Structure 1
Amino acid sequence: MKFKSAFPLLLLNMFLANLSMGLVIPILPELLELFEAGGQAAGYLVSCFGLTQFLFSPMAGNLADRYGRKPLIIVGLILFSISNLLAALAWDISLLFVSRLIGGVGSAALIPAIIAYAADITTDEQRGKAMSWSGAAMTSGFIIGPGVGGLLAELGLKTPFYASATVGLLAMLCSLALLPESLNPEIRRLRQRMQEKKANLFRQIVLSVRSRYFVLLLIVFAMTFGLTHFEAIFPLYVVQAYGFSTGEIAILLTLCSLIGTVNQIVLTDRICRRFGEKKIIGAMLTLSAVTLACLLLSGNYFYVMFVTMLFFTFNNILRPTMNTLLSKAAGEDQGFVAGMNNAYTSLGTIFGPLLAGILFDIHLDLPYLFGAFVLLASSLILVRRIGGKQAASEAILGTR
């Protein structure tokens, strides 16, 4: 693997890009009370991050292919820090929404560039392991975010945002000084001279629907939908249904995310080599659905912790497995495919929390029942489609 010294910094940037998504979740009840906002605002605050992430991801992927990965990473980290600083200084809920929108743009710049960078510096044999580590950084950032936010909030409600902005600035300075550009200069110059008109976002979505990796993109959407469906209303659910405190929620999410991340790093490469990516995707979707439904069976703190740990583990294994397959299918269009990957992730981030908030107002259990249904349907239908057409399967998964 080339640029080995740059890879840890790359993982840190991936972690930070996703940390901001979940940072606000455990302090939502207190933020809503501070700004005298209603319960539906919780879902909107999580969803609006995904909205701008969705709108800007394909553009960022194309820019990463034309001008290199490093400029997009630097810009993304700057926007990440601005977003968190604005959230810390917000005196009105409208500014909090603006900060989340800016954070979504920053994430859109960061994530496709980082995924494309990882693909640039690895061989086909190394890519699965590299994507596993990148996936661990991605999912652990989003999952650890709520735990970190809850723990730092003990020092002050806005402390998580100040801390995140500071770390983001430090990561930007380190990347500026230490991160080499991974894209060949000749390729960059060639692509910059090309004058073909780039398709707009919705045209790119149409193109992705017709692509050989569309099924995998749908699975990305379903997995993100289920994860954000879980996290968006988790604090509200366990407070109202089980009486958990903010501190208990923070400890639970932090421990579960750390265990889930360790399980991912240890297990993903081994089980994929033994059983193959297609079987792992189907199994993890099914197990995620089961654990999501099991959350409703008991309010015992350690039972909820165990079930949550399993849910995070299964989701953590899903992400790098799909990233690996998408990267192999992308060929020379790593930036575009990474942008589409991020766009479908963003769609899940938009609609998951939005619908979870609506269903939560109808009945406490409905968000988790519906999320389990979406994940199970994905396992039964989408994975079956991968295996249903041998030619498509070979194109996506590759022959061994």
Structure 2
Amino acid sequence: MTTRAATVQERPPVPREILVLVAAAFVIAVGFGLISPVLPQFAKSFDVTVAAATVIVSAFAFFRLLFAPAGGALVTRLGERPVYLTGLIIVAVSTGASAFAQTYWQLLIFRSLGGIGSTMFTVSAMALLVRMAPPVIRGKVSSLYGSAFLIGGVIGPVIGGLLGEFGMRVPFVVYGIALLIAAAFVGVMLRGAHLRPDPTKAELPPMSVREARHNSAYRAAMVSAFANGWTNFGVRVAVLPLFAVAIVGETWAAGVALAVGAGATALTLQVSGRLADSVGRRLPVMIGLGLSGAGMGVMGLSGGLVLILILSTVVGAGAGLLNPAQQASVADVVGNDRSGGKVLAGFQMCQDAGGIGGPIIVGLVADHAGWGWAFALSGVISAIAIIPWLRAQETLTIHQG
């Protein structure tokens, strides 16, 4: 007997290997936060323009997007674990090398290489989670992984700002060393033969993007990933702080708005994974998109800090509901028994494309038409992303008996 969104089956514990990946994700996020406060200033220290300094920041994300298809192909060909470890080592070495960059162009090359390594370990980590997470707790696993990144991302900039007092190059060295330690830890803990296909079973061919696109849930997830990247990884991080400062007139308002939104996401993640594993994937995704769209859509009408913080809370809660269910749905499509590197890379590319393009377009709209229209555009993007989910397949299926 098969039922949708059942809750009667006993939930298995989270596998140890996934907890290892969660711990590594926390270290990675803390490390990325270490360098984020000093990177723009470090780039400016080479006597370049503000625009050139922002290119250093954008290069990492651009090469993540550019290399995603190759990263997915490598996962399919070589397996998740070697690609994950290689990606971590590339980021570790390139970050450490950044500390010793003597010219702007050297720093640009090192950060670009870091983007390539980042997409390698990001796609392969997703593939490992898909392979090892029991289907009935995929939402919970996604919440754990997301929480590790979120909390690490909040702690990292605080530590990075303190380390920056000892010199702008110090955080890069610390991050590089931390990543090498994380790579060694993961390499030792994930040596088990159970990560390879069961030799007693016929090996299924890797899932192609074309095959995945036949599933309405995957098509919907690609659309919502773009909207999520646009609103929550792009506009919320890059544009909302500028708006908060413009309205309040104080630089601290940017940090408060980001912190409140991150706190709302963190709290929501504590329940959203279990919700996705019980009521299904579609409902949390649609509610999350609705909250993100509503909160961001009217953000431009805010006249003071209080309303900005209220709407930041709404947007943050929407992100917390959306992410675990969306990722679990993609994992459901791929399944535990097949490699889906290219499928996961396609999903990641959509999210990165939104995260890169959203702030640029919204910034242009804000310059020419004002904040109200700029944020309204983000609300429309999230609202449109709900449409394919209305008819998408519910992928949560629990077998009983």
AA aligned to 2:347 is N
Q: 1:336 to 1:4 in 2, by over 3 A?
A: same
- Aligned to 1:264, the other structure's residue is in SS state helix
Residues paired across the two proteins, number = 382
Distance between the aligned counterparts of 2:260 and 2:106, measured in 1?
31
**Is the Cα contact below 8 Å between 1:115 and 1:134 reproduced in 2?**
no
**Is the Cα contact below 8 Å between 1:151 and 1:251 reproduced in 2?**
no
Aligned to 1:385: 388
Q: Do structure 1's residue 214 and structure 2's residue 219 form an aligned pair?
A: yes
Aligned to 1:109: 120
Q: 1:382 to 1:293 in 2, by over 3 A?
A: closer
TM-superposition CA deviations, 1:149-196 (whole Å, max 9, x none): 445445543443233222111101212222234532557x9989x9xx
AA aligned to 2:76 is D
**What is the TM-score of this pair, normalised by structure 2?**
0.78
Alignment of 1:1-400 (within 5 A): 4-17=15-28, 25-27=36-38, 30-31=41-42, 33-41=44-52, 44-141=55-152, 146=157, 149-150=160-161, 152-181=163-192, 182-185=194-197, 212=216, 213-227=218-232, 228-239=234-245, 241-245=247-251, 253=258, 256-257=261-262, 259-272=263-276, 275-293=279-297, 295-296=299-300, 297-300=302-305, 304-305=308-309, 307-331=311-335, 332-356=338-362, 358-359=364-365, 362=368, 365=371, 369-370=373-374, 372-379=376-383, 381-388=384-391, 392-394=392-394, 396=395
Distance between the aligned counterparts of 2:366 and 2:38, measured in 1?
18
**Is the Cα contact below 8 Å between 1:65 and 1:191 reproduced in 2?**
no
AA aligned to 1:383 is I
**Is the Cα contact below 8 Å between 2:276 and 2:324 reproduced in 1?**
no
Q: CA deviation at 1:328?
A: 0.3
AA aligned to 1:345 is Q
**Sequence identity, in percent?**
24
**Unaligned residue ranges in structure 2 (runs of 5+):** 1-11
Q: 1:191 to 1:269 in 2, by over 3 A?
A: closer
Aligned to 2:7: none
Distance between the aligned counterparts of 1:242 and 1:36, measured in 2?
31
Q: CA deviation at 1:361?
A: 5.3
Q: 1:147 to 1:175 in 2, by over 3 A?
A: same
AA aligned to 1:311 is V
TM-superposition CA deviations, 1:186-231 (whole Å, max 9, x none): 57x9989x9xxx99xxxx7777656541221121111011121221
Distance between the aligned counterparts of 1:18 and 1:357, measured in 2?
26
- Aligned to 1:393, the other structure's residue is in SS state coil
Aligned to 2:8: none
**What is the TM-score of this pair, normalised by structure 1?**
0.78
**Is the Cα contact below 8 Å between 1:74 and 1:172 reproduced in 2?**
yes
Distance between the aligned counterparts of 1:158 and 1:243, measured in 2?
31
AA aligned to 1:284 is G
Distance between the aligned counterparts of 2:363 and 2:47, measured in 1?
17
- Range that drifts further, 7-16 or 217-226: 7-16
Higher helix share: 1
Distance between the aligned counterparts of 1:103 and 1:365, measured in 2?
33
**Is the Cα contact below 8 Å between 1:272 and 1:280 reproduced in 2?**
yes
AA aligned to 1:336 is K
Distance between the aligned counterparts of 1:27 and 1:293, measured in 2?
31
Q: CA deviation at 1:348?
A: 2.2
Distance between the aligned counterparts of 1:363 and 1:312, measured in 2?
26
RMSD between aligned residues: 3.8
**Unaligned residue ranges in structure 1 (runs of 5+):** none
